Amino acid sequence: MPAFENLSVPESEKLEETPLQFPPVSREHILHCSYDSWFPKYRTSCIRSRIIPLTPEFVQYIREDRIILADDDEANGESAEDDDWEPTNPSRERQPRKDDSDTEDEDGDEDEAIGLPPNKRFPELHQTIKDKIRELGGAVAPKLNWSAPKDAAWISQHQNTIKCTSPNDIYLLLKSSSFISHDLEHPFDSCTPPPAPASASSNSGAKLSFTPVLVLRSFFSPLPSLEFRCFVKDRTLVGITQRDLNHYAFLLDIRSEIAARVQELFNRKLRFTFPEASFAFDVYIPEAHYDGDDSDDGRDSRLGRARLIDINPWAPHTDTLLFGWGELLDIHVPKPILGTAGARDGPSAPDTEDDVSTTDEEDEEADYEPEVRLVEKDDPAAYNFSTPTYSAHKLPKEVVDASMAGEGGLREFARRWHRFVEDGDAAKEWDTSDTES
């Protein structure tokens, strides 16, 4: 019989098979990473944003499978009708009874509301979204508490981006995104203890255990090469990685500047003010001549100030990119700082233009050098991600269902979609339930 020279399992494979000893993730930790929780505190380091609390009617609309868009959309034009701001659901204007006949009436009212376009279903919120788009210059990028609908950019009319110039652009992205569905249905799945599962029959109307918000940020087109994800462990910046996993030769020459700019933002803004001791955050570092930063810090840098884009949980579902969670969890922090923010500076306050001052002792603690990981030339990482970003999310359920119905189902799907686009009848209901076999 043939003999194998070595039957032992490589140490690297043993490590991969060993379950990660991840610290418990609390519900509060996830909530602290919600955009509306941290943005007011750090707004001067962020992109211009507007936060809009969402109503139960809007959340139900996003959850529904069918797509009904507003019929007053004018691509950031003036509102055609402002007379529809009264409630569209009559059952909410009277005290409901408990007898069967009234229950049937209420169900009918709800069904009628579901068939209405957004500008009639939730007119005040619809108008607020239009106003905020106008305030932000006419073009915005939307997200909910934690996620942006980047996986749905393929359906956008703005060249495969999440740029939105009208409420309808926003509605279409939100309703087509798996990331948004996760925000609404499963934000606390990784928490300890896990949330109680919701029954499938009542999921569409289930109340959320948090306050959902729509975030609109001024739209801009960043250079993917200058977007980075940063990891903080025990209030120490331990790692920085590219977000776009392609090789950019010029990044190797400015590795130290990248670390310096990220460390500057972290030390002055985040380190002792964010409630959690361990978390991840995303930044964009523009080139200096595009930054408009007139501060004189004595450096001739090619990079401007780092801008805070997002804050992510220290949790398994956060993508570590060029790092691994095992590596990050094993990093030894020389002087860990535990506990929540607040004990050092008292109650948190909204951010101002003044940076948080640091003491000499804190500056010494900040001397820990974070590792900056970049995609090197001929690095396999640069070739393993050659497929389009979020390509796994580019087939909506309706397309899959139509394909399961055979050639006739796909033909009917294509015919109805082209009619929907060409007619411009945005209020027409898009429902492919009749294509299923």
Q: In the 3-class helix/strand/coil scheme, how is 79-125 assigned residue by residue?
A: CCCCCCCCCCCHHHHCCCCCCHHHHHHHHHHHHHHHCCCHHHHCHHH
Q: How buried is residue 368: exposed, middle or buried, by Cβ count under 10 Å (0-12/13-18/19+)?
A: middle
Q: What is the pLDDT of residues 95-130, one digit of tens each?
A: 444 454 554 555 555 566 678 999 999 999 999 999
CA distance 126 to 82: 11
Token pair, residue 270, equals 């985040």
Q: What is the pLDDT of residues 121-176, one digit of tens each?
A: 999 999 999 999 999 999 999 999 999 999 999 998 888 899 999 999 999 999 99
CA distance 149 to 175: 9
pLDDT confidence of 416, banded at 50, 70, 90? confident
pLDDT at residue 98 in the model: 47
Higher pLDDT, 435 or 122: 122
Nearest to 310 by CA among 122, 18, 39: 39
pTM of the model: 0.73
- Residue 14, amino acid: K
Mean pLDDT of 243-252: 95
pLDDT confidence of 353, banded at 50, 70, 90? low
pLDDT at residue 270 in the model: 97
Structural element, H or E, at residue 404: helix 397-404
